[in-house]
Structures are given as C-alpha cells and as structure tokens.
Structure 1
Amino acid sequence: MISYATLVTFFVYFVFLMAVGIYFYRRTSNLEDYLLGGRGMGSWVTALSAQASDMSGWLLMGLPGAVYLWGINQSWIAIGLGIGTFFNWLLVAPRLRMYTGKLHSMTLSGFLGERFGDPTGLIRIISALITLLFFTIYASSGLVAAGKLFVAMFGMHYAIAVIVGAVVMILYTFLGGFLAVCWTDLFQGLLMFIAIIVVPIVGLQHAGGMSAIGRSIVEKGLSTSLFTSGSGIAGIVAIISTMAWGLGYFGQPHILARFMGIKSIKELPKSMTIAMIWVVVSLTGAVIVGLIGTAVVPGLSGGNEEKVFILMIDGLFNPWLGGVLLAAILAAIMSTIDSQLLVSSSALTEDFYKHIIRKEASDKELIWVGRICVLIIALIALFLALNPNSTVLGLVSYAWGGFGAAFGPAVLMALFSRKTGWQSILGGIVVGTVVLVIWKNLGLGSVMYEIVPGFLANFLTVFLLNFKFGQQNERILSEFDEVEQSIAKA
C-alpha cells in the first residue's frame, strides 16, 4: 500500500526542485551562466555539487547491492574512489580552473582542443561525440535507479516510474542550467550525507549488533575480508580491477565542470576538505549498509540486491522520516543525471552548434539550443532505461570507465605536460576508447575492469606519438608557462 506520508514528502521535494529551476531561469542571461554559472560558485556549493553529481544512485543502490551480493571485498571500489577523489581535487582542480579560465573554455572538449592548439577541430568533435555516447548510457543508469525506487515504494509500473523521474529532472535542468543543478546538488548532497549516516546506525541496532551481522555474512558464504578475492595473481588482479574505479575521476566531464565553475582557486582547499569528509563518510556508510542489509533484509536476489537500502528504510522508519530518507536516494540519482544532461547539452551547443553550425549565434539563441539539447538527450536516455533488466552498477561502470579511458590521460597531460602535441592527444583518446569498447564487448571485463587497459593504452599511445608529434607551437608553450607561473603564485 502506498504511504500517504511518503507521497507528500516526494511531492514537496519535487516542488522544491521545480522552484529552484524557475528561480535560476530568471538569473541566466548568457551561455557561460547556463553552462558554468558565470564561474562564480563558492566552496560549499562546488564541493557538495561535485561529490553529489559524482556518486549518483549507485552510491545508495549499486555499491550497497554489490557488497550485499559478494561481501567486504567490494570495498576496494570505495577505497579506489576515495583515493581518486583526493588526487582529483589536489592535482586537477586548481590547474583546470586556471587553464580553462585563461582560455575561456566552457566544455572539456573545447578545453582539450584549445589547450593543444588542434587546427583541425578533431579533438573537440571526437571528444564531444564520446561525451554524448557515454553520458547517454550514464544518464540511463540514473533513470533505471529512479524506476526501481518508484516501483519498490509505490508499486508503479516500471516504465511509468522511469518516465516520472525523467520529467522532473528534465524540467529543472531545462530551466535553470548550471546554477539550478549546482544549488539543487548542494541540498541533495546534504540529504544523502544524512541518510548514509542514519540508516546504518538504526540498521545496526535492529540487526542485533555486529555479531549478528557477522553470522549473517558467514551463513551466506560472502567475502569476510578485503583479501579474499582469490589467491596469488588472481587476487591481485581482482583488487586492481576494483580499485581502478579511482582512475575514472580524471576524465569525468560532469565533475571537472565543477572545478571550471568555482569562483577562485583560493576556494579550492576549503572545497577539497568538505568534499573529502563527505566522500569518506558516504562511501563507508554505503559499504556498511550492504553488510547490515544481509541481516535486516535477507534473501534478496535476481537484481533486487540493489534495493537493499530502499527496503531497509521502508522496514525501519516511520513513513514521514522514511519519506525523507528515500528522497535522499532520489537526490543521489537526480544530482548526477542533471549534471550529465547539462554537460551533454554543453557538448552539442558549444562544440557543434556554435563552432560548426552557427558561429554567429547569440547568447539567447545558444541558451535555448542548450535547453532543447537537454530534452533530446534525456529522451534517448529514457528509451535506453526502459529495459527493466538493466543494473545500475553495470551501466555506471561502463560509462565511468569510458570517460576515464578516453579523457583521463588527456586531462593529466594537458595540465602537466608541456611538450605534448595535439596529434598525440587525439591518438590517445581514440585508442583508449576503442580498447575499452573492444575489451568490454569481448567479455574481458570479468577478468579486469575495462578502464585499466583503456587508460594504459591511451597513455602509451600519447607517450609514443610524442616522439614524432611533440608540441612545437610557441603560443601553446607560452600559455603553459604562464599557467604554471600563476599556479606557483596562487
């Protein structure tokens, strides 16, 4: 039976999101406002927006489900992500903000093309196409999560549930752009943080303590140690494969856009501290939820493992508080999809429409093109999400790996390599993406997460091509030196 209290909670939450979208609709006057918030975001908004958009529905559904299904050894995913987050803020954030501000870049694709002085425009175009491909898959994962949430809570038909989630996300992203996305992410990040602390505490008490949970894990035959993935080389490969999620951070356009939009690099140390506290607590909580769930809601199978967090809330809390906590799951889902829709729209608007179709387009025209692109991409993702057999973690892992393999080495070389040429970067992006896709489609992902061979192939390609195509453009070399000097002074 549908809970009246939960319905009211979700309705109020939807109204809040719409209000934010309408509010920022009136404060978006040019394309930079719509895509990057005028590069004026503060430390709190930047930190929580980056991490909320990073973690998505997989934090409260995919990761707990994986731990519930296989055990503690899945914690290596969380460890890898924590390490990746740290180095992304430490190494990438300040240089990317400085460099994109200097070049007036509004998309990752545009930055890579301008940074390396690509005269053909191929880096921008191919990067934008890769962005559209993997973000469509990524966004569909969020809609799958939303569908599963609404089915579990309200007994809705899966297709209708997916459509309802899509409509809400489309509307406030369509209206308010980057500012609406970031400010809703701030609220949603706080809501997720509260939920991931409260639910494990109550669940632990309900389960009867750690000893009861330990017995449940042993009875199910799940991994009870970080180092039980296998023996010898097989165990090492399994650990590397799961930790390799952390490599993906360097190439995620929706996270990197937050670094590009912060007011000043002087805000970054505070943002990094906030982000790291949020990440460590949230990832730890998600792993604990999966373990506690084996005792609180035993017997889940057939893909229902990803509902463990939902079912724990439904069984442990009164409808009003439960409605708020369930809204946190919806927040996790929406905080990522809205970012993905916006970055995909940015790629179409800035990298195709403005630079290829209508170079003389006005800001007002570009904003509306961006909004139409949000709608188009969302409809494609919606179509992909209508398959009820899709798993959240499976879709996220493919898209996350795709971005990491395609863009991770390119971003690192852009920020730290003075002599890399545009031909090398273009070759690396293409090779990294192709290797990842082939590896995935050959079924080798069960042996090693596809981001690893894709990332390494990208880096190796850039390294080898640099012997032939090192950077020779004096303007590009001078820009790199100027950014390095600015970083040193900051």
Structure 2
Amino acid sequence: MTTNTPMLVTFSIYIFGMILIGLMAYRATNNFDDYILGGRSLGSVVTALSAGASDMSGWLLMGLPGAIFMHGISESWIAIGLIIGAYLNWRLVAGRLRVHTEANNNALTLPDYFTSRFADKSKVLRIISAVVILIFFTIYCASGIVAGARLFESIFDMSYQSALWVGAAATIAYTLIGGFLAVSWTDTVQATLIIFALLLTPVIVILSVGGIDASVMVIEAKNPANIDMFNGLNLVAIISLLGWGLGYFGQPHILARFMAADTHHTIRSARRISMTWMILCLAGTVAIGFFGIAYFEDHPELAGNVSHNGERIFIELAKLLFNPWVAGVVLSAILAAVMSSLSCQLLVCSSAITEDLYKAFFRKTASQKELVWVGRCMVLLVSLIAIALAADPNNRVLGLVSYAWAGFGAAFGPVVLISVVWPRMTRNGALIGMIVGAMTVIIWKHFGWLGLYEIIPGFFLASLSIVVVSLMGTEPCKKITARFHKAEVEFKTV
C-alpha cells in the first residue's frame, strides 16, 4: 500500500457520499422551483451552513493561508473585512430579501427579482443581470476548478490537466443530478468537515513547533514584519482589504440561500450559526498560514513545495503532520470547500440561463420537466467553459476569486441592498447602477488606479448612480410602492 492509498480511499468515500446525497435530492426534485431554490424549504441550520460553505471556496484553505504564509499577519485584514460584511449582509439583506422575492411573483433568481421588483416590462434588467452573472460566475467557477486541480495535483502527483478534470467531475455530477437540494444538503456536510479541519490543523502545527510563544519567536526572528498588522500597508491598502466585505451584498450564490429559507424568521438563528462558523473558520485559516511560517522555518528541508507556491501551505502541513488516514479526512476539507462553492456557482449560472433567458425569451410555455433538464444541460455547459478558463497552470486561486467577487459586489450589491430598504428606487436607477458597478470593476481592474481594490470604487459609484438616477426620474407607480410596503410589514412581523 502506497502512502497515497489512505487518502485515495478517503477521497473516494467522500465523493461517493456527496453523489449519493445528490441522488437522494434527485428524488425530492419535482419541479424547477425545487431544482433552483429547493422549494424554499431550508431550515436555520441548513440555511446557515449552506450560506457559509457556498461562500468559503478553495481560497479559504488555499488562497488566504497562502497569502498570510507569504506576507505575514497583515493579510488578515481581508478576514476582518469579510466578517463585518457578512454580518451586515445577514442583518440588512437576508430577511428582507427572503420576503421581497416571494412578494415579487415568487422570484427564483436575482434577475427574476429585479424584473418583478421594478415592473420592468422591457426585461432589460433581466438580460443585463443574467449576462453579469454568466461573465463573473464563469471566472468564479474557474477559480474553484483551479483549487481542486491543485489539490489532486499535490496529493496524487497527477499532471495539472488530469487533475483539472478529476477535481471538477464529482461536483458537476451531484449538481447535475440533484440541483439546489443536493447542493444545500452537501454544503451542510462540507461545512462541518471544513470547520473540523480548520480547528484541528493549527493546533497540531502549534504543538509541533513547541507552543504559541515559541512559534511567535521563530516567526519574528525570521522577519519581524510577519507579526506587524500594518506591515507594508498604507491606508489605501487597508481599505482595499477591508473592502472585501462589501462583496457580500451582491453574491448570487449566497443570496440564494436567504431566498430559500423556509421563512424570514429562520434568518435570525441562521445568522448566529453562520457567523459563529465563519469566525472560527477564518481564525483557523489565519492561524494555519501564520504558524505555518514557524513550522517551515524550523524544517526548511520540507519547504520546497510551499516556497514555490504558498497556496499549498495547508496541503503540505496536512500531509506532513497527520497520519495518512487522518490527512485524507483533513484534506477532504479542501475538496469540500471547492465543491460547495463550485456547485452553488454552477447552479446560479444554470438558473440565469434557464429561467432568465431560455424561459423568458424562447420557451415561455416550457414545462417544469423541460426546465429542469435544460438547467442540467446548462450546468454541464458552464462547467466545460470554466474548465477551459482554468486550463492555465499559472492561475492563482485568490486572484481569480478577487476579480469575480468584486464584479458581483459592485454590480449587484448596491442594487440588492437599496432595493430592499428604499421604496423610491426606480428601474432606471437599478439598471444604471448595475452597469456602472460592473464597468467600473472591469476598467479599474485593467488600469489599477491608486492600488485600490476595484470593488470599492465600483460599489460607491454604483450606489451613487442608483440614488441620483432614481431621484431624477418619476416615482415608482403605486402598485410597486404598495408591494414594497406590504413586504416590509411582513418582514417586521414577529
């Protein structure tokens, strides 16, 4: 038996279990509503853990610890920004969006919600938002496939191209089969596995180096800047890292979890569960990258792989510090993070094509069975495009995620947030805001002005555009305003 055999067995059992859940969800999927939102039947625990797992993709166990390992604790400003942004998203958007989407013709997708919320008979909002989803989510999906490929490449000594297909296959399989219920149920299992790995691994790393004090001394001796929260950062850089939190307001795969809760009352307990899970996971991933510096400083002969690519820090620590069987379980957490996010993203892309383009413009009378099967075909199509984008072995997970995250945060974040709190917002305000947000991200990313993360100018300019254009236009009709206030009253009902 080779050293890889235990991990191969563990991974196989894990993947088989996920596909089995997909088959169970297949039996519970009766129509397109079930396939896209699970019939709005998720309880607080599944809502919370599914929202968390779908958010924390491969960057949680590869991109972020890799950044901290290479540049020190100053990179943890991202984690602080994410915690603040996620909390505000749960508080300001989650419950309201659940109520408003149901009040607006039981909208199943964000484009569907925008169209109904602003009574957009031209359907231009639907088209623009669906296009934004397809562009940025295809990039996002590519980041997940890259993370999965890195995992299989590192563990099983596969070529990058082979690992690309193996890593994507299992996720595609259970998303294709079971739809939203499969994705949500597997997310719950995956979230449990992720937090187990992220709490156990840093403890073992610290013990192997001789404790926290000894570890910090080694890290400081290597480079005092590693323990400086402000190392190499000016105000613009800190704002850029904290700005990641703005992205939460516009992430369709996370917002879909809010829309799928059984009632808006579920959101309160789901928020507490999700935020606790998130804080513990981010603390664990920061600790892995930080204390990993001490471990490889003590064992420089083992640092070859991480010196070449810091994003392998978690993988290498798990392989070196754990029994192969335990390592297989721990490393399955990376696969869990990749699969949970990738499956959600594939499903949102599928719904955008099926519900917002195919049904809206080509087959208005399509049966529920037809829509489900078109949705499955679209999952496959988007997967193949994402695999093609991920084919470059020089791709980095965090770089791909940051671009897609900014695109959604700026294009959809202000539109979603303002639409659930301000009845005066108009169709034209939403449209201009969406376009300004998306274009600002694309242009700012290309020119890199001021070194400022593109989500910040994108979010600000989109918000400003929404308010100015809405105030310049005529007020929404009484029907739209009445529907808004009715939803708001329901939201405030205890």
What's the TM-score bracket when you normalise by the shorter of the two chains? over 0.9
* Residues 2-51 of structure 1: CA deviation (Å, up to 9, x unaligned): 52111100110111011111111121110000000000011111100000
Aligned to 1:488: 492
Q: For residue 214 of structure 1, report the CA deviation from its aligned partner.
A: 2.1
* Residues 74-127 of structure 1: CA deviation (Å, up to 9, x unaligned): 111000000111111111111000011112100011111211122211111100
Aligned to 1:276: 275
Aligned to 2:376: 371
Give me the CA root mean square deviation.
1.3
- Is contact 2:306-2:312 (8 Å) kept? no
* Residues 349-397 of structure 1: CA deviation (Å, up to 9, x unaligned): 0000110010000000000000000000000000111111000000000
* Residues 204-243 of structure 1: CA deviation (Å, up to 9, x unaligned): 000122233223433145432223344xxxx211111000
Answering whether residue 429 of structure 2 is matched by residue 424 of structure 1, we say yes
The one-letter code of the counterpart of 1:215 is M
The one-letter code of the counterpart of 2:83 is G
Aligned to 1:472: 476
- Is contact 1:57-1:329 (8 Å) kept? yes
* Residues 402-457 of structure 1: CA deviation (Å, up to 9, x unaligned): 0000000000111011111100110011011111100101133x711110011111
Q: How does 1:375-386 map to 2 (within 5 A)?
A: 375-386=380-391
Of 303-312 and 126-135, more deviation after overlay is shown by 303-312
- Is contact 2:44-2:270 (8 Å) kept? yes
Aligned to 2:87: 86
- Is contact 2:440-2:457 (8 Å) kept? yes
CA 1:318 to 1:2, structure 2 compared with 1: closer, same or farther past 3 Å? closer
Q: How does 1:103-114 map to 2 (within 5 A)?
A: 103=104, 104-114=106-116
Q: How does 1:37-436 map to 2 (within 5 A)?
A: 37-103=38-104, 104-218=106-220, 219-220=222-223, 222-230=225-233, 235-298=234-297, 299=303, 304-436=309-441
Q: Distance in 2 between matches of 1:387 and 1:128?
A: 26
* Residues 233-287 of structure 1: CA deviation (Å, up to 9, x unaligned): xx21111100000000000000000000010112111111110110110001110
What secondary structure is seen at the aligned counterpart in 1 of 2:66?
A: helix
Q: For residue 302 of structure 1, report the CA deviation from its aligned partner.
A: 6.2
Q: For residue 297 of structure 1, report the CA deviation from its aligned partner.
A: 3.0
Q: How does 1:17-32 map to 2 (within 5 A)?
A: 17-32=18-33
Aligned to 1:443: 448
Q: Distance in 2 between matches of 1:438 and 1:407?
A: 17
Q: Distance in 1 between matches of 2:428 and 2:399?
A: 33
Q: Distance in 1 between matches of 2:466 and 2:210?
A: 55
* Residues 158-213 of structure 1: CA deviation (Å, up to 9, x unaligned): 11101011111111000000000000000000000100000000010001222332
- Is contact 1:2-1:154 (8 Å) kept? no
- Is contact 1:81-1:245 (8 Å) kept? yes
Of 469-478 and 216-225, more deviation after overlay is shown by 216-225
- Is contact 2:3-2:324 (8 Å) kept? no
Q: Distance in 1 between matches of 2:239 and 2:308?
A: 25
Of 207-216 and 338-347, more deviation after overlay is shown by 207-216
Q: For residue 467 of structure 1, report the CA deviation from its aligned partner.
A: 2.6
Q: Distance in 2 between matches of 1:45 and 1:101?
A: 20
Q: How does 1:453-468 map to 2 (within 5 A)?
A: 453-468=457-472
Q: Distance in 2 between matches of 1:18 and 1:485?
A: 41
Q: Distance in 2 between matches of 1:321 and 1:470?
A: 63
- Is contact 2:54-2:254 (8 Å) kept? yes
- Is contact 2:66-2:310 (8 Å) kept? yes
Q: Distance in 1 between matches of 2:397 and 2:225?
A: 21
Q: Distance in 2 between matches of 1:216 and 1:151?
A: 30
Q: For residue 472 of structure 1, report the CA deviation from its aligned partner.
A: 2.6
Q: Distance in 1 between matches of 2:219 and 2:118?
A: 52
- Is contact 2:306-2:313 (8 Å) kept? no
- Is contact 1:71-1:217 (8 Å) kept? no
What secondary structure is seen at the aligned counterpart in 2 of 1:467?
A: helix
What secondary structure is seen at the aligned counterpart in 1 of 2:453?
A: coil
CA 1:303 to 1:28, structure 2 compared with 1: closer, same or farther past 3 Å? farther
The one-letter code of the counterpart of 1:227 is F
Give TM-score scaled by structure 2 length.
0.96
Give TM-score scaled by structure 1 length.
0.97
What stretches of structure 2 of length at least 5 have no aligned partner?
298-302
Aligned to 2:300: none
Q: Distance in 1 between matches of 2:66 and 2:179?
A: 32
Q: Distance in 1 between matches of 2:339 and 2:214?
A: 35
What secondary structure is seen at the aligned counterpart in 2 of 1:63?
A: helix
* Residues 137-171 of structure 1: CA deviation (Å, up to 9, x unaligned): 00100110011111110100111101011111111
- Is contact 2:10-2:328 (8 Å) kept? yes
Q: Distance in 2 between matches of 1:254 and 1:204?
A: 35
What secondary structure is seen at the aligned counterpart in 2 of 1:401?
A: helix
* Matched length: 485
- Is contact 2:10-2:329 (8 Å) kept? yes
CA 1:450 to 1:111, structure 2 compared with 1: closer, same or farther past 3 Å? same
- Is contact 1:303-1:391 (8 Å) kept? no
